[in-house]
Amino acid sequence: MNRITPGTKAWVEEVSGQPIIEVEPLLGGLSSSVHRCLGQDRTYVVVRHITDQQWLEREPGLIHSEATTLELLSGSAVPAPKLLGSDPAGGRLLMSYLDGEVRSDIAHIGAHSDTIADMAVSIAAVELPSNHDLKQWASWVPVDAEPPSWGDHALWTEAIEVFETRRPLAEPAGLLHRDLHPLNLLWDNDTIVGVVDWVNACIGHRYAELGHCRWNLTVLGAKTAADAFLGRYLQSGPGYDPYDPWWDIVPVLSFINWPPDTAAWTALGRRDITPAKVTSITETFLRSALEAL
């Protein structure tokens, strides 16, 4: 959605306490509109408005979860926006604006896999109060998943069986961004100056963060970076059990009911990432995970 709704604009003005004189759409998720708003005092704020009403009805705690997480991150080593206001019932959240650049080019990702891994470690290390009310991680794999019509039937059948019959060892839970990948990172040259889009944040096994990021890095064309990212995390992280490739299978199976959507990558100029290419890369990634078990 390129235009901010009148209701959301009025809400931003009410929360910020000043008129909004300029609005610019930002790259957001498939189910949210995200806008940068310039106030009369010449400072920017960012508003998220969840436009997928079915998603909001299924998970009414989305905005509350993001607001809670941003408050937990305040003062931590993770550069996240500052919470300015939230409207859980209306699916809206207002936050500070972080000035940085999204980088999706292979050269940059390949050169900074260690930096991304270190950020994942920092997220997992955030101290959580005993009374936090963040939701627990649960996979997005559909119940009674079946191989997709657009893929390698035998490969996906094997992956589903492994997912359903194998479970990694338990370990102490930590904070998860849940959607950590280059499109949610803001850079200033070699430094990550912002981690955004915390709407899916939750508590769970630290390695749940890794498979999702590794798949995204691989789709962007940086398979070596995905492996280096994992190696760095395991080297500098808290040192739990060896990484189980099951965590690479889980995020892939989450997309089993729909062909890969490439809109976000295309919007960043990566027109080379087509649905057919994503399908091919994903199946290669999945095959590698199964072979590594």
CATH number where 119 lies = 3.90.1200.10
Is 101 part of a structural domain of the chain?
Answer: no
SS3 50: strand
Shared domain check, 261 and 124: yes
> pLDDT for 167-180, tens place per residue?
887 777 899 999 99
Is 221 part of a structural domain of the chain?
Answer: yes
The half-sphere exposure of 215 on its side-chain side, counting CA atoms within 13 A, is 28
Note down pLDDT in tens along the chain; length 293 residues.
Answer: 468 999 999 999 999 999 999 999 987 656 788 999 999 999 999 999 998 888 888 888 899 999 999 999 999 999 999 999 999 989 999 999 999 999 999 999 999 999 999 999 999 999 999 888 899 999 999 999 999 988 899 999 999 999 999 988 777 789 999 999 999 999 999 999 999 999 999 999 999 999 999 999 999 988 899 999 999 999 886 666 789 999 999 999 998 887 778 888 888 889 999 989 999 999 999 999 999 99
- The whole domain housing 25 covers 6-96
Is 246 part of a structural domain of the chain?
Answer: yes
Q: Which two tokens stand for residue 185?
A: 């990172």
Is 26 part of a structural domain of the chain?
Answer: yes
- Return the pLDDT at 240: 63
- Return the pLDDT at 1: 47
Shared domain check, 133 and 219: yes
Q: Please, are residues 173 and 141 in contact by the beta-carbon 8 Å criterion? A: no
The C-alpha R_g of the chain, in whole angstroms, comes to 19
Q: Which of 52, 74, 96 is the last residue of a domain?
A: 96
Is 112 part of a structural domain of the chain?
Answer: yes
SS3 148: coil
Shared domain check, 203 and 64: no
Return d(Cα 135, Cα 117) in angstroms, integer: 23
**What total of structural domains would you count in the chain?**
2
Count of CB atoms within 10 A of residue 248's CB? 26
> pLDDT for 82-119, tens place per residue?
999 999 989 999 999 999 999 999 999 999 999 999 99
Return d(Cα 259, Cα 120) in angstroms, integer: 28
Q: Please, are residues 159 and 274 in contact by the beta-carbon 8 Å criterion? A: no
Q: Which of 76, 96, 116 is the last residue of a domain?
A: 96
Shared domain check, 135 and 253: yes
Shared domain check, 74 and 51: yes
Shared domain check, 160 and 27: no
CATH number where 50 lies = 3.30.200.20
Is 1 part of a structural domain of the chain?
Answer: no
pTM greater than the 0.75 cutoff: yes
Count of CB atoms within 10 A of residue 44's CB? 14
Shared domain check, 33 and 131: no
Q: Which of 72, 96, 120 is the last residue of a domain?
A: 96
Shared domain check, 117 and 88: no
Shared domain check, 237 and 266: yes
Shared domain check, 133 and 64: no
Return d(Cα 85, Cα 116) in angstroms, integer: 28
Shared domain check, 200 and 112: yes
Shared domain check, 147 and 81: no
